Structure 1
């Protein structure tokens, strides 16, 4: 089983949390573009945080912790608008991954460094992986995700675990084992 397979619920929930906390301003296209950017940032952050298949398996068993603290920091509504199972997906939000993704969305140079750190890792081995919307967003991407990429708005979340991300990036490439 690829390491990212067991991270899929964590990646989906954390990206969803980011898009709900920092919603796009336009219609369906803006929503899709913002979701793509959030998903790419969360994927990079999750792959850095859980570099091996064993790491991914452990978080799949133990659970990532949920969105409680993030909701408190942003003032986000902890329950959905009456949707069935609204609280269930929030249990799969990973606070550290959301924080790291916020750092990457707000800082293109760190996003590039994070993507470089994944080169040759177990997560990127075997299939081509592209993070263009994260690393090199065009004007349409930036407009669609104006809140999601605004460093000042992201700061309360990004600052939670920024130092841990910087330490991780300073440690060098993600190991190939997995």
Structure 2
């Protein structure tokens, strides 16, 4: 008679673990162009003179880590051009004044699950937002960022919409990039 061996069950078994890969420390002069592009894009002067900078790869996207926190990511925009954009943690750290849309409380649970942002949920939007811009979707009452996405219409059109998608969500609070352990 053969003894039955109990097989241990692992929560991570069969699940692809997403983590930072190819982490490399970099000097400020190596990423000066990235910093200049980010500063121009968000309208905030960035100073990383005393910060520990790293470049890494996560889920086929290059990241810029500042003091071990992923604050910027390289994405391909709607025109198939590569560019550097802030992550949600970057938006929290730098607080850019433009490129945002605010949603009501009814939209928050859907955004937290990665859904695209519908025009009916948008209450206020930056009038400077153009179609194809990467924008931050934030909570109307607290102003905290909830998600990032590509604007499908202009800021003025977002506010006027009563149905249809307004923003294609690519990064949200609670997704793999938000939860990445550094």
TM-score w.r.t. the length of structure 1 is 0.25
Higher strand share: 2
Which structure's CA Rg is the greater one?
2
TM-score w.r.t. the length of structure 2 is 0.25
